């Protein structure tokens, strides 16, 4: 399969393949759009079974980053990279440095950050070879660990959804079902508990569930049942594609608002939620705190400005909710339209320069 034949190719500006024989690095970097600024997105390390599978993933992920960066009102385009290999054994120093050289060949049109399989230990090695890197803890620089601010954005966005759908200003007394209590989900649980919400929690890691029960008085729920639990708000913070033809008819929540990526299994699932009267906070909008932290490092914003931008996620969601009502459209569709409008405006302005 060639790039142009892939069903996930969406007029990407650049798709670059790297095969560094001395180190064994095999990677693909895809730039979907640079209309708003340099393309930015993480590097995913994964043992793809085929090059076609790696290509599909990088095309989808880079496309998604264009929308995420645009809707977050960032001066960044969308890009992504995949490093083909087992993150436990294949991230040698030589390959990480070869990857830095690969990033450099794009002359600043791509800025990389962390994704699945890439850790805080890896990023300083990459940074030895390229300046086009951000989104990790660096002494004296803002940004860094994005989990707390991602959780803040989800919390503020969830409250905006609650106010819009349930007409209340607080989550006090509401039942929130949290699927996934990792770094982001646990911090979100802490914030909700402090406001008086009643929590249901599920996670594949029993230790995480036990901690949430002990610290927040949460009620444990089996992972297979959390999506359809009796609650006011369902907050997916773990796996993607949890909302589909099978689960949506059984969702009992009035609102879906969580940090997980790609919560809708298919585009049509946004319409299915709307048909059931369930208010959906589009995932790439509400979980934008992470990429805002990355942007903060790139542009040297203060921590105060980064936090202000994260809190603005709530206002952006309100705009989406209101426009969705005006246009009688799913919130997921409206979010895409707003991101596309901003990308088109940015491309027009850059063409006029």
- H helices of the chain, in order, are 51-71, 93-104, 123-129, 147-166, 183-195, 206-216, 268-275, 283-286, 289-298, 303-311, 313-327, 331-352
Query: Which residues fall within 8 angstroms of residue 275, CB to CB, at 6 or more apart?
Result: none
Neighbouring C-beta atoms of residue 346, cutoff 10 Å:
18
DSSP type of residue 135: S
Q: 145-156 as b/e, with b when 16 or more CB fall inside 10 Å?
A: ebbbbbbbbbbb
The answer to whether 44 and 61 have CB atoms below 8 angstroms apart is yes
The answer to whether 199 and 274 have CB atoms below 8 angstroms apart is no
- In whole angstroms, what is the distance from residue 159 CA to residue 72 CA? 18
The answer to whether 63 and 262 have CB atoms below 8 angstroms apart is no
The HSE-up count of residue 131 (CA atoms within 13 Å, CB side) is: 4
**274 in active site:** no
The answer to whether 254 and 281 have CB atoms below 8 angstroms apart is no
Q: What angle do CA 86, 22, 28 make, to 5 degrees?
A: 50
Of the residues 80, 91, 159, 274, only one is catalytic, namely 80
Q: Kindly give the pairing relationship between strand 14-20 and strand 25-33.
A: antiparallel
Terminal CA-to-CA distance of the chain, rounded, Å? 37
Query: Which residues fall within 8 angstroms of residue 15, CB to CB, at 6 or more apart?
Result: 3, 9, 28, 29, 30, 31, 55, 58, 59
Neighbouring C-beta atoms of residue 158, cutoff 10 Å:
28
Reference 202, options 177, 172, 228; nearest CA is 177
The answer to whether 324 and 316 have CB atoms below 8 angstroms apart is no
Active site (catalytic) residues: 80
């Amino acid at each position: 399969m060639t790039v142009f034949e892939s069903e996930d190719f969406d007029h990407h500006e650049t798709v670059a393949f790297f095969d560094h024989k001395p180190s064994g690095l095999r990677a693909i970097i895809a730039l979907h759009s640079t209309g708003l600024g340099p393309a930015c997105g993480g590097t995913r390390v994964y043992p793809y079974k085929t090059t076609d599978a790696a290509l599909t993933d990088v095309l989808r992920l880079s496309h998604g980053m264009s929308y995420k960066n645009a809707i977050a009102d960032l001066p960044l385009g969308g890009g992504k990279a995949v490093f083909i290999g087992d993150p436990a054994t294949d991230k040698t120093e030589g390959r990480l440095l070869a990857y830095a050289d690969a990033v450099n060949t794009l002359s600043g049109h791509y800025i990389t950050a962390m994704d699945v399989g890439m850790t805080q230990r890896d990023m300083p090695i990459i940074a030895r070879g390229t300046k086009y890197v951000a989104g990790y803890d660096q002494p004296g620089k803002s940004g860094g660990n994005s989990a707390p601010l991602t959780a803040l954005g989800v919390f503020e966005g969830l409250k905006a959804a609650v106010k819009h759908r349930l007409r209340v200003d607080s989550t006090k007394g509401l039942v929130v079902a949290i699927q996934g209590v990792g770094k982001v989900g646990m911090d979100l649980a802490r914030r909700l508990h402090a406001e008086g919400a009643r929590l249901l929690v599920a996670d594949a890691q029993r230790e995480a569930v036990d901690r949430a029960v002990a610290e927040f008085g949460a009620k444990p729920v089996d992972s297979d049942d959390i999506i359809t639990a009796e609650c006011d708000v369902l907050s997916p913070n773990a796996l993607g594609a949890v909302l589909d033809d099978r689960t949506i008819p059984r969702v009992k929540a009035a609102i879906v608002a969580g940090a997980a990526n790609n919560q809708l299994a298919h585009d049509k699932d946004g319409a299915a939620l709307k048909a059931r009267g369930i208010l959906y906070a589009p995932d790439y909008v509400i979980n934008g705190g992470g990429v805002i932290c990355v942007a903060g490092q790139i542009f040297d914003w203060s921590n105060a400005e980064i936090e202000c931008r994260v809190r603005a996620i709530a206002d952006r969601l309100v705009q989406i909710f209101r426009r969705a009502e005006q246009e009688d459209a799913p919130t997921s569709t409206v979010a895409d339209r707003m991101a596309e409008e901003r990308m088109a405006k940015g491309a027009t302005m850059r063409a006029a320069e």
